Amino acid sequence: MTVCLKNQIFNLRTKAFSKTIVFLPNTKIMAAATYSRVTTRSLQEMKSNGEKIAMLTAYDYTFAGLVDAAGIDLILVGDSASNVMAGHETTLPITLDQMIYHASSVVRAANRALIVVDLPFGTYQSDSKEALRSAIRIMKESGAHAVKLEGGAQAKESIERIIQAGIPVLGHLGLTPQSIYKFGTYTVRAKEEQEAEQLLEDTKMLEKLGCFGIVLEKIPATLAKQATESVSIPIIGIGAGGSVDGQVLVLHDMLGMNKEFSPRFLRRYADLDKVIHKAIAQYTEDVKSQDFPNEKEQY
């Protein structure tokens, strides 16, 4: 059951002040003071109050509506759409137009969550002007609230320019899937001292540049804890342990729709693969046996 009480916080869409408290199902009288529209400021408040931030991906209208209604704080229109929606092996092939299509579908469904969109590979690496043009297209054409891009020092100028234009940026360090051909493997990053030190430096640099948060992907939990304690902006982890400020997972993975993918960090909250298979097999059988449609299911 979800109960909402209104009280005081600024809502970007209605331009009114209100605050929603959501009592989540398994937490009895929880906890999560959430907002009628989550903003970068609310996320900062959550970190300051020690309230964990929940983030999931979504790529379409129907799922985004479900995710938003269930009380998620942040929706990431991730370039993982390249894998889970389009069936590519990596995140590299997805285009800016395709990301904008996914993002605008999500924006139409979500009333409460802050919506962050990945800048896809090849739209920000060559120079900072191109990076800004890509970020502006995402904001203007999709109506999303922020962009995410991968990398530390090498992305400095682009991040700076995008933030200067008034666009909120979420950083992404550790395992950055757009660099998979450089890494050669999806295994845990920053286990060695040099890479760990670079990650800590990049974390501080992203905070200094004005990023409103950072995703840390697949790094040792102790390093993620150190990074989290070293900055005042929220750190969202995926495969980075429990000491970070929030967690993100790919929706299709946590719903059990993608059985081939089972890294140690993934917890499955449903077995939709089985549920969907069973429903479709039953429908097929009913059509073939002429059980469907019955008398009541026709005009």
The catalytic position among 193, 217, 260, 295 is 217
Count the Cβ atoms, other than its own, within 10 Å of residue 32. Answer: 18
Residue 79 interacts with ligand KIV (CB under 6 A)?
Answer: yes
Nearest approach, Cβ of residue 101 and ligand KIV (Å): 15
Token code pair at residue 248: 């993100």
Residue 250 interacts with ligand KIV (CB under 6 A)?
Answer: yes
Cβ proximity to ligand KIV: between 40 and 80 the closer is 80
Cα–Cα separations (whole angstroms), residue 256 to 57, 127, 252, 261, 282: 14, 39, 6, 9, 20
Determine the angle formed by the axes of helices 128-142 and 96-109, rounding to 10 degrees: 40
Which residue has its beta carbon closest to ligand KIV? 78
**What is the spatial distance between Cα 209 and Cα 247, in angstroms, rounded to a whole number?**
23
Nearest approach, Cβ of residue 217 and ligand KIV (Å): 6
Cβ proximity to ligand KIV: between 11 and 104 the closer is 104
Question: How many residues line the site for ligand KIV (CB under 6 A)?
Answer: 11
Burial grade of 169 (CB within 10 A; 0-12, 13-18, 19 or more): buried
Residue 248 interacts with ligand KIV (CB under 6 A)?
Answer: yes
Residue 120 interacts with ligand KIV (CB under 6 A)?
Answer: no
Q: Which of 106, 196, 215, 227 binds ligand KIV (CB under 6 A)?
A: 215
217 among known catalytic residues: yes
Residue 156's contacts (CB-CB under 8 Å, 6 or more residues apart) are 205, 209
Find out whether 54 and 249 touch, Cβ atoms under 8 Å.
no
Q: How far is C-alpha 257 from the chain's CA centre?
A: 17
Cβ proximity to ligand KIV: between 147 and 250 the closer is 250
Residue 78 interacts with ligand KIV (CB under 6 A)?
Answer: yes
Residue 10 in 3-state DSSP? strand
Which region, judged by CB under 6 A, interacts with ligand KIV, from 78-86, 104-112, 158-166, 286-294?
A: 78-86
Nearest approach, Cβ of residue 241 and ligand KIV (Å): 15
Cβ proximity to ligand KIV: between 22 and 219 the closer is 219
Cβ proximity to ligand KIV: between 248 and 254 the closer is 248
Closest by CA to 139, choosing from 161, 168, 164, 112, is: 168
Residues marked active site are found at 217
Residues that bind ligand KIV (CB under 6 A): 57, 76, 78-80, 118, 215, 217, 238, 248, 250
